[in-house]
Amino acid sequence: MTYCAGFLVRDGLVMMADTRTNAGVDNVSTYRKLRVHANDGNRLIVSASAGSLSTTQDAVQRLHQGVPNPETGETETLESVSSIYDAALAAGRALRAARDGMESLEQQQISFDATLLVGGSVGGEPLRLFLVYPAGNCIECGPDTPYLQIGENKYGKPILDRALCYDTELYEAVKIGLISFSSTMRSNLAVGLPIDLVTARQGQSGAEVVHRIGPNDGYFAELSRRWSEVINEACRAVPRVPFGPPA
């Protein structure tokens, strides 16, 4: 399991992913889940993945080697797609092809589903963000709910619902995202450091920040400590329940 989140606010795009993967408590590894496929000022394509590692790696290889587009008859790669929407559609076809190649695993009751977040900008288009499902279909992030999550999302969702909106400043969104990851890591050992993140400013087809937060990152440790303290203080500040014996 893993946790990935993407935010599309007025100022730009944030994508984040942890790096932990496991096949049981005695087989825990670190793999990069956030990938920058293009970042040249004209083409920014970033993906984050959750689910089967083998399916994800297969799909990513197909995206770089080329995926047939049945509508045009052409073979598309992430280097040739003309928009982020086309990149998300190509990612969906790559996921379907990867899953079709693993049908034999169904008989062994092995899960090989994977989901992707695909975001960025091609040729100066506005930044966009999509969630690509295992079946290959996708949905787009919008102002009403300016975030998408994949993987172990339930622990990190409450802070996003309460604190994140479309008008949130870009690096305030990064901070809220890190709180979301800290909350998830506190409740689920299947999610862990390092955390990779990418930010991009609206109107630019290039990343502003590409950064990894490691186990010894002082800011993340301080953020996690302060968040725990604030929650405890808020709980103590709420009035005692009006029923039951006197304190």
Q: Is the pLDDT of residue 51 over 90?
A: yes
pLDDT at 15: 98
The rounded distance, in Å, linking the Cα atoms of 69 and 218 is: 46
Q: Which domains does the chain have, with CATH numbers?
A: 3-237 (3.60.20.10)
- Residue 233's CB is within 10 A of a number of other CB atoms, namely 9
Q: Is the pLDDT of residue 101 over 90?
A: no
Between 99-113, 177-191, 212-226, the lowest mean confidence (pLDDT) is in: 99-113
According to the per-residue pLDDT averaged within each range, which of 54-58, 157-161, 189-193, 242-246 is highest?
157-161
The rounded distance, in Å, linking the Cα atoms of 17 and 32 is: 8
Average pLDDT, the chain: 94
Tell me the C-alpha to C-alpha distance, in Å, between residue 68 and each of 35, 55, 75, 88, 106. Answer: 22, 18, 4, 14, 25
User: E-strand spans in 96-218?
Assistant: 114-122, 128-132, 138-140, 147-151, 195-201, 207-213
- Nearest alpha carbon to residue 211 among 6, 20, 28, 36: 36
Q: Is the pLDDT of residue 73 over 80?
A: yes
- Mean pLDDT over residues 45-68, rounded? 95
Q: What is the pTM of this model?
A: 0.95
